[in-house]
Amino acid sequence: MCAAVYVLSTVTGYVLTSALLLKCPNLLHRRKRETFRSRHISHRGGAGENLENTMAAFKHAVDLGTDMLELDCHMTKDEQVVVSHDGNLQRACGINANISDVPYAELPPYLCKLGVTFQRECFCEGGEDKRMPLLRDVFDAFPHTPVNIDIKVNNDTLIKKVSELVVKYDREHLTVWGNASNQIVKKCYKENPQIPVLFSFPRVLQLLGLFYTGLLPFFPLKEQFLEIPMPSIITKLRDPDRLTRSHRIIAWLADTLLMRKALFDHLTARGIQVYIWVLNDDEDFQRAFDLGATGVMTDFPTRLKDFMDRNGISKPE
Ligand SMILES: *[C@@H]1O[C@H](CO)[C@@H](O)[C@H](O)[C@H]1NC(C)=O
Ligand SMILES: *[C@@H]1O[C@H](CO)[C@@H](O)[C@H](O)[C@H]1NC(C)=O
Ligand SMILES: *[C@@H]1O[C@H](CO)[C@@H](O)[C@H](O)[C@H]1NC(C)=O
């Protein structure tokens, strides 16, 4: 009897403490200092409105007032940090070669038309600008715009060079970097802990485990950004005839587990921003902001801006 009361009161104490700290995390953790906040994020510079990852795309997005540019990095044969999503040039340039085997000066231009990965049956027709820029070109052109850097290769030299550029351009307070791979994120953090990192995929799973067991409020977190997909968008991306029942169930389950307002509110109260990708229509923009996401990544910066203007969603303070 006594033991039962003891266990019950201990469990109740744990649940109550966990619930209290979930709501008020700053009782236990000092709020992380956010050197910038982003609501409007242009994915690959806005891959639906300009050729992805080009200076033309970045300029268009910045002129529109985007809060952040999202881009991807690789390294060329002559060890220059180049902005490109793919490591192989087949999809985007029509040439089967790896960026790591080609010197920067010899990289081919983009094709005139590129598929938009996160919008079904959509191609983007580019303008004049078909050049893959260097990361340094982006830093030169937009010294005040926050940039989200996806490190696409697990290569120590690449990580070191990106860090050196960020430091040289005095942008540690305007940068977040990482990758789905935990190995890469660990290396980034080790290389330069002053640059904020995002949660890798294994760390997202850990985060969910901690959240659903009530342990999350007790754990310190080194990451400053949670960047996750909205799993439900898969039903819009795939051909409905080719979406099997098990696909739908997995998407539903992932969506239900991941899209939690209580989780997002807890993280944002700790100074960890939540960005959701890659959303391209009003319905999904609305859902993300209703869930308490800090920011939305989109291929269509103009659409997102119009949505925010119409709905009175202000720029972050
Ligand atoms: C590009 O790199 C991958 C992996 O490193 C390799 O398997 C592939 O053969 C390379 N492609 C070319 C065209 O060299
Ligand atoms: C990193 O990339 C450079 C340039 O492509 C290459 O020479 C080097 O071998 C790579 N390092 C590793 C560890 O893959
Ligand atoms: C992460 O890095 C791997 C190489 O280790 C790459 O294939 C992948 O595209 C990257 N993913 C993201 C989301 O950056």
Cβ(293)–Cβ(274) below 8 Å: yes
Q: How far is the CA of 69 from the centre of ligand 2 (A)?
A: 26
Gap between the Cα atoms of 134 and 74, Å rounded: 10
pLDDT tens per residue across span 11-20: 899 899 988 8
Q: How far is the CA of 100 from the centre of ligand 2 (A)?
A: 8
Based on C-alpha coordinates, what's the Rg of the chain?
A: 21
Cα-Cα-Cα-Cα dihedral of 181, 280, 44, 107, to 10°? 110
| pTM, rounded to two decimals | 0.94
Which residue has its alpha carbon closest to ligand 2 atom 10?
155
Gap between the Cα atoms of 83 and 132, Å rounded: 6
Which tokens sit at 245?
């029942």
Q: How many CA atoms lie within 13 A of 160 on its CB side?
A: 4
CB-based contacts of 6: which residues, under 8 Å, 6+ apart? none
Phi, psi of 284 (to 5 degrees): -75, -35
CB of 22 closer than 6 A to ligand 1? no
Question: For residue 244, what pLDDT is reported?
Answer: 86
Gap between the Cα atoms of 108 and 106, Å rounded: 6
Residue spans of beta strands (DSSP E) within the chain: 40-43, 68-75, 81-83, 113-115, 123-125, 147-151, 175-178, 225-229, 273-277, 295-298
Q: Which of 74, 75, 84 to mutate to test the pocket of ligand 2 (most atoms within 8 A of CB)?
A: 75
Domains of the chain: 35-310 (3.20.20.190)
Nearest ligand 1 atom to the CA of 97 is: 13
Q: Which of 75, 76, 84, 88 to mutate to test the pocket of ligand 1 (most atoms within 8 A of CB)?
A: 88
| Strand 81-83 with 68-75, pairing | antiparallel
Gap between the Cα atoms of 24 and 44, Å rounded: 35
Q: How far is the CA of 155 from the centre of ligand 2 (A)?
A: 6
Q: How far is the CA of 220 from the centre of ligand 3 (A)?
A: 26
Cβ(151)–Cβ(82) below 8 Å: no
Which residue has its alpha carbon closest to ligand 2 atom 12?
155
CB of 90 closer than 6 A to ligand 2? no
Question: With a cut of 50, which residues of the chain have pLDDT below it?
Answer: none
